[in-house]
């Protein structure tokens, strides 16, 4: 079928609430390249929204899935367990940036991981309250939306939301919010909205994803850890988008000198297969009663096999180091373009979790229009980019860390043309 025919069918068969960015349809993909049903080729700097750090169809991941496919595809771990789930939990326990001893539970989606982390924190503390931050994204489930700090398009028309969820400002120097102001606002919540002794958890992205690839300042993380320690609050690091090499370390929390109590992870954990996890201190993870955690598809054996292969690949191909090298090259390339692209207000990020923020040169106001224009021009030239940010004025770069160097260099040339025209 042609892309135009498929678009007509999509409009008739699927609801408008499932937003679709591209007007073409995938036929096949390999590493950092995607081909549509009409044979056009694209360089993929979206990677399924940060899911493909190891690229489309990495051979090692494919081999692991096929080997598991020949054995069994599903038993429900809570009914008949299997060794690969246990060994993956052991590996995550050793790798996660949490002071051990640790335990890990597997789920299916990032939103599931977030919801279960909140459940675990509430069971451990016996408290109801949860604090998140402006600009945060934690999922599209009802609790995920409540935690998310962005209204449109995620919350419009879906309320009321669960109670005892509160938001504090996330530090953002470009937007005029300092670490001191953010921590002061958090203390203000304790005065005006909720007693800290009723707060079960504070959940934070080390680098905000949908919020614009905003890295949390180190002193802010230290301040959060101190607040949690002072009031007996569980600190949850949401590493759904940042995990598995994207920031130049296996987990973004490794950039900081404090450690969370729980970590959520998903996306690039299983190389395109649906898998998520919550890892945390054993004393906290054991708080729910037997049967309180799980899910029919949680820890699917095909996805678990893929995750083992992903962890091996990241280590053996030194993808954290490659993330740092590619990120430096991209940052230098973007910075060099600022003279010819006055709307480019800031280049920021950790490793290969890099963002370019655009503002109107005359007014200084966030310019979603400019970000969309760059995105559209790049797409016309065969480069797939994503936007993000509270104002939609940020382009985020999520290329596979396995992208061939020549293809990466060529993509940067396309990006330059899209930005300076």
Each residue's pLDDT tens digit, 197-252: 999 999 999 999 999 999 999 999 999 999 999 999 999 999 999 999 999 999 99
What is residue 1's predicted lDDT score, i.e. its pLDDT? 86
E-assigned strands of 121-275?
129-133, 165-168, 199-204, 207-208, 214-215, 234-238, 262-265
What is residue 246's predicted lDDT score, i.e. its pLDDT? 98
**Cα-based distances in Å from 212 to 23, 31, 317, 392, 418:** 24, 25, 28, 8, 20
> DSSP secondary structure string, 306-364?
HHHHHHHHHHHTTHHHHHHHHHHHHHHHHHHTTTT-TTEEEEEEETTEEEEEEB-TTT-
Rounded to whole angstroms, the Cα distance separating 356 from 182 reads 23
Rounded to whole angstroms, the Cα distance separating 292 from 120 reads 9
Which CATH number do you get for residue 82?
3.40.640.10
Which CATH number do you get for residue 16?
3.90.1150.10
Q: Tell me: do 105 and 38 sit in the same domain.
A: no
Final residue in a domain of this structure, among 282, 316, 350: 316
Peptide bond into 153 cis (omega under 30): yes
Q: Tell me: do 85 and 45 sit in the same domain.
A: no
Place of tokens 């404090």: 258
Final residue in a domain of this structure, among 266, 287, 316: 316
- If one counts the domains in the chain, the total is 2
Within a 13 Å sphere around the CA of 204, how many CA atoms are in the beta-carbon half?
Answer: 30
pLDDT > 90? residue 421: no
Domain span at 17: 3-58+318-420
Q: Tell me: do 94 and 229 sit in the same domain.
A: yes
Q: Tell me: do 275 and 145 sit in the same domain.
A: yes
Question: For 53-88, what is each residue's pLDDT tens digit?
Answer: 999 999 999 999 999 999 999 999 999 999 999 999
Q: Tell me: do 215 and 337 sit in the same domain.
A: no
What is residue 89's predicted lDDT score, i.e. its pLDDT? 98
For 340, other C-beta atoms within 10 Å of its C-beta total: 11
Q: Is 120 helix (H, G, I), strand (E, B) or coil?
A: helix
Q: Tell me: do 125 and 194 sit in the same domain.
A: yes
What is residue 343's predicted lDDT score, i.e. its pLDDT? 96
| Residue 216 neighbours by CB under 8 Å, 6+ apart | 170, 171, 204, 205, 206, 207, 208, 256
Average pLDDT over residues 371-382: 97
Q: Tell me: do 157 and 293 sit in the same domain.
A: yes
Q: Tell me: do 118 and 193 sit in the same domain.
A: yes
Mean pLDDT for the chain overall: 97
Sign of the torsion formed by the C-alpha atoms of 96, 97, 101 and 103: negative
What is residue 152's predicted lDDT score, i.e. its pLDDT? 85
E-assigned strands of 125-171?
129-133, 165-168
| Residue 126 confidence class, pLDDT cut points 50, 70, 90 | very high
Are the C-beta atoms of 327 and 90 separated by less than 8 Å?
no
Q: Tell me: do 27 and 71 sit in the same domain.
A: no
Q: Tell me: do 66 and 180 sit in the same domain.
A: yes
Final residue in a domain of this structure, among 299, 316, 333: 316
Q: Both tokens of residue 195?
A: 């007693």
Question: For 291-315, what is each residue's pLDDT tens digit?
Answer: 999 999 999 999 999 999 999 999 9
Q: Tell me: do 335 and 306 sit in the same domain.
A: no
Q: Both tokens of residue 298?
A: 């949680």
Kindly give the pairing relationship between strand 383-384 and strand 41-44.
parallel
Are the C-beta atoms of 352 and 326 separated by less than 8 Å?
yes
> DSSP secondary structure string, 75-114?
--TTTS--HHHHHHHHHHHHHSSS-SSEEEEEESSHHHHH
Question: For 141-193, what is each residue's pLDDT tens digit?
Answer: 999 999 999 998 899 999 899 999 999 999 998 889 999 999 999 999 999 99
Triad 110, 115, 116: Cα angle to 5°: 95
Rounded to whole angstroms, the Cα distance separating 276 from 110 reads 6
| Residue 316 confidence class, pLDDT cut points 50, 70, 90 | very high
Average pLDDT over residues 358-367: 95
Question: For 258-275, what is each residue's pLDDT tens digit?
Answer: 999 999 999 999 999 999
213: alpha, beta or left? (left if phi > 0; alpha if psi -120 to 50): left
What is residue 250's predicted lDDT score, i.e. its pLDDT? 98
CA-wise closest residue to 43 among 30, 29, 33, 56: 33
Question: For 94-119, what is each residue's pLDDT tens digit?
Answer: 999 999 899 999 999 999 999 999 99
E-assigned strands of 195-300?
199-204, 207-208, 214-215, 234-238, 262-265, 276-281
Q: Both tokens of residue 278?
A: 């919550």
């Amino acid at each position: 079928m042609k892309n135009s025919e498929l678009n007509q069918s999509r409009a008739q068969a699927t609801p408008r609430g499932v937003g679709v960015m591209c007007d073409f349809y995938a036929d096949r993909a390999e590493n950092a390249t995607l081909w549509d049903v009409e044979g056009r080729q694209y360089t993929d700097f979206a990677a399924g929204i940060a899911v493909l750090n190891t690229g489309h169809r990495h051979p090692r991941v494919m081999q692991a899935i096929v080997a598991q496919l020949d054995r069994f595809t599903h038993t429900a771990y809570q009914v008949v367990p299997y060794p690969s789930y246990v060994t993956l939990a052991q590996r995550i326990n050793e790798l996660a940036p949490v002071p051990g001893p640790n335990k890990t539970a597997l789920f299916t989606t990032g939103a599931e991981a977030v919801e279960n982390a909140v459940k675990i924190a509430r069971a451990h503390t016996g408290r109801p309250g949860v604090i998140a931050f402006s600009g945060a994204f934690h999922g599209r489930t009802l609790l995920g939306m409540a935690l998310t700090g962005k209204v449109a398009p995620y919350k419009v028309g879906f309320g009321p939301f669960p109670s005892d969820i509160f938001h504090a400002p996330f530090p953002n120097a470009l937007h005029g919010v300092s670490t001191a102001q953010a921590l002061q606002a958090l203390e203000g919540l304790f005065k005006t909205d909720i007693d800290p002794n009723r707060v079960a958890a504070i959940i934070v992205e080390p680098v905000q994803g949908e919020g614009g690839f905003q890295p949390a300042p180190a002193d802010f993380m230290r301040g959060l850890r101190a607040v949690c320690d002072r009031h007996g609050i569980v600190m949850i690091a949401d590493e759904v988008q940042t995990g598995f090499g994207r920031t130049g370390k296996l987990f973004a929390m490794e950039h900081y000198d404090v450690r969370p109590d729980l970590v959520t992870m998903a996306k690039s954990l299983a190389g395109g297969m649906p898998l998520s996890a919550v890892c945390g201190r054993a004393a906290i993870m054991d708080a729910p009663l037997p049967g309180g955690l799980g899910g029919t598809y949680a820890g699917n054996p095909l996805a678990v096999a893929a995750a083992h292969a992903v962890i091996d690949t990241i280590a053996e191909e030194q993808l954290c180091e490659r993330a740092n090298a590619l990120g430096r090259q991209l940052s230098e390339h973007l910075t060099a373009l600022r003279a010819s692209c006055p709307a480019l207000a800031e280049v920021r990020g950790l490793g290969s979790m890099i963002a370019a923020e655009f503002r109107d040169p005359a007014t200084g106001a966030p310019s979603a229009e400019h970000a969309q224009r760059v995105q559209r021009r790049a797409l016309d030239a065969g480069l797939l980019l994503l936007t993000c940010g509270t104002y939609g004025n940020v382009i985020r770069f999520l290329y596979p860390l396995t992208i061939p160097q020549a293809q990466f260099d060529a993509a940067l040339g396309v990006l330059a043309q899209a930005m300076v025209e």
